Amino acid sequence: MKTWTYIDITQFYNSLKSIYLIMMVSIGMAAHILGVCRKTLRRWEKNGVITPVRTPGNHRRYDKNALITFGKTGDYAPPEKTKTGNAAVYGRVSSHRQKDDLKRQISFLQKRAKNDGYTPKIYKDIGSGLNDKRKGLRRLVKHALTGHFDKVYVTYLDRLARFGTQIILDVFKVNAIDYEVVQVAEDVGFNQLLVNDVIALVTSFSGKLYRRRKGKNVTPKVHSS
């Protein structure tokens, strides 16, 4: 089983970011597509001509196809998302010994989604938050991009990932998907959060180094003739 490093995770989230940026572009790229300056786009936004969406970091994002149509017709009309009535519930634990905890997470989130009037759709993983190959997370992101649900429920944000969580939230935002962190983690302070991240990275690198050494120490079998 592969141990994923910070570089692996960064590459994954950069590729994830490129996927949704194919659909949603920045103000600079929007200006280039339309052949105008950024100031013109801001003025159009103020006058209600073109209204971009905002990421959690308050950056403007424009629908690329709607921009192309606007350049031809003068009408900026991004496709409205059809409400599905579904909500994604995502749970994750680090090892198979925590299966009972995973069941509790999913059950708790399902009840919350139902109480809010949604039909819950389950996404779950058993694996490290540093592992970018988690099938449940990848399916969650893919379905977010294709409009399978209206909202995402998680117990804590680090259930989604140890690093790069903001990019996942950006994917939700630009696809008009709400998210709710049902249980807010205790405020342990910046120093403790930094320590937790360093421990996670050291654990990842240590596991990778151990597996590499273990592979080198395997003695090949000699078959007698």
If you compute the radius of gyration of the chain from its CA atoms, what whole number of angstroms results?
22
Is residue 225 annotated as part of the catalytic site, yes or no? no
Cα gap 41→37, rounded to integer Å:
7
Cα gap 158→38, rounded to integer Å:
36
CA-closest candidate to residue 66, choices 77, 51, 55, 74: 77
Cα gap 157→65, rounded to integer Å:
32
Q: What is the DSSP string of 15-63?
A: HHHHHHHHHEE-HHHHHHHHT--HHHHHHHHHTTS---EE-TT--EEEE
Cα gap 44→46, rounded to integer Å:
5
E strands present in 48-164: 53-54, 60-63, 86-93, 119-126, 151-154
Catalytic residue among 15, 18, 26, 94: 94
Please give the positions annotated as active site: 94
